[in-house]
Structure 1
Amino acid sequence: MPIRLARYSDLDAISSTLAEGFHSEEVMGPILHPYRQEYPDDYLNYWRRQCLEKWWDYSYIFVVSYLEEHFEDPDKRDRDGDNPNTQEDVEKETREDMTNRKPPQAKREVITGVAQWHRMGPGWEAIWKPAGKWDPRVYITSLISLYHKYFLNVMFPNRAASKPPQITEPLLRKALIKAIGSFYTSPPHRQTNWALSVLAVRPGYQKHGHGRELVAWGLDKAREDCIPASVLSAKGKDTFYRRCGFTELVGWATDGEDNPLKGLIEGGAVMFTRVKEDDA
């Protein structure tokens, strides 16, 4: 299944892929966006804003799977110069049996899935040699985030989100950091890792290997860097991730007595790939 690094022009397709892929996921769907069906544009715009912010954070990398599909292109003859332009051409085309001609064909690329990988810990800037963290464009993320927070989110609030919220996104992130933060710091070698932040495959292309290829990209990077890879599994996905190579289950996002996520979500398995430090 072909995969490649995403291009800026892919952001719309990436956003719609994430919106479709997470539509039924327990956190991003029913909990944070219970009105996503009533306000699909607001739900899609949420993902557009998230993707745009992360795009300019160079510690994040978007990888997409795709297929090339053929489609009829009625304008192809015009572009290729096949339309008759002279009287001789007209007479020639009249003599031909037009009914036996196949319609002009063209190819287009259809994005089927997306993975967002995050290089956590020191050394992430090495991905973008030689600029890395010195590239001034890294500051665009902060500017876009402020623009979204203090203008777009105020002027155009996300109506797909619950009112009042069952749990807000900032509180969710805070609860996650508190619950799973220690899993990424102890033992110390897990502080630096390739984290699979987001994975989604369009419903019509699931169970055809697209997701597995997107996961394999990050696992290959982790092996090259001799560091682990990690993932916070959604409900029911831990078996898939274990088969992909995340064999170390180190805890759950619902761990802890005062955890507000306990009883709210059923997923949240924190999983790592095994490295030589785990055997030491």
Structure 2
Amino acid sequence: MQIRPAQRADLVAASKVCAAAFFDETLFGDIIHPFRHEYPEDTYLYWLKYFRVAVGQADNHFFVATAPEANGSSETVVALAHWVRKRAKHSGDAAAPPEEPKEQEADKLPPNRAADPKNVDILERSDAFASHHWSGPRAESWYLSCLAVDPQCHGQGIGRQLVAWGFEQSDRDGACVSVIAADGKDTFYQRCGFTTITGRAGDGEGNPLIDVPGGLILFRDV
């Protein structure tokens, strides 16, 4: 097993790992992809669109775990971690100029027939309800935006190794570490060292995630 920085060529395979890992999870399965059983081959498009945009942005770090194939001449992506370095905003900081509209690779993807168009952006619509958790002493953070391991590779410690990278960065630069846990994954993250629960991503009146299970916000403070 090898863990290395992801290359753009890895994104399709990594997206398919995410699709498999979250296929039956409530948020990414039932809510965002209610038609996934009719179109199972489409679910990876959700992840690929997101990754293709994020991979070109500052402070976004992608890592994959790979395993050699039987012939020994190639490798298979079996896990992905997407880390984001969140930074404190200071008064007087200049606002980032808006990006010029342009056609992205993500816009050229085929339609995702497995997704519900009304819910495909539910995470973006919920962001404002949770952003206050990353403030004050927690404004500087290494945030684990996505962690996925191929279901066939569970129990091998791959996820823990990918989590450990962010903790190493935290130790070096003095920022905390944070994650929003998918339903049922909070115990795993607590075992990895996320010791403080600050709330849920679904908290707040009008939050589109209010009835979605999971979403605990966890930190390892410095």
Q: Same fold (TM over 0.5)?
A: yes
Conserved? CA contact 1:53–1:144, under 8 Å: no
Deviation at 1:144, TM superposition (A): 4.7
Rg larger in structure: 1
Q: Which amino acid aligns with 1:219?
A: F
| Matching residue of 2:181 | 233
Conserved? CA contact 1:21–1:200, under 8 Å: yes
Q: Which has the higher helix share?
A: 1
Deviation at 1:210, TM superposition (A): 0.6
| Matching residue of 1:113 | 79
Residues 29 and 147 of structure 1: is their aligned pair in 2 closer, same or farther, counting only changes over 3 Å?
closer
| TM-score, scaled to structure 2 | 0.86
Kindly tell me the number of residue pairs found equivalent between the two proteins. 213
Distance in 2 separating the partners of 1:21 and 1:204: 9
Deviations 1:32-57 (A, max 9, x none): 01112212333222222222111111
* Pair 1:269 & 2:220 matched: no
From 175, 190, 200, the counterpart of 1:242: 190
Residues 160 and 190 of structure 1: is their aligned pair in 2 closer, same or farther, counting only changes over 3 Å?
same
| Matching residue of 1:61 | 61
Q: Which amino acid aligns with 2:116?
A: S
Distance in 1 separating the partners of 2:9 and 2:208: 39
| Matching residue of 1:207 | 155
Q: Which amino acid aligns with 1:195?
A: Y
From 89, 97, 112, the counterpart of 1:158: 112
Runs of 4+ in 1 over 6 A off after TM superposition: none
Q: Which amino acid aligns with 1:143?
A: K
Q: Which amino acid aligns with 2:203?
A: D
* Pair 1:32 & 2:22 matched: no
CA-atom RMSD in angstroms: 2.3
Residues 224 and 9 of structure 1: is their aligned pair in 2 closer, same or farther, counting only changes over 3 Å?
same
Gaps of 5+ in 2: 90-98
Q: Which amino acid aligns with 1:267?
A: G
Gaps of 5+ in 1: 72-105, 124-138, 276-280
| TM-score, scaled to structure 1 | 0.69
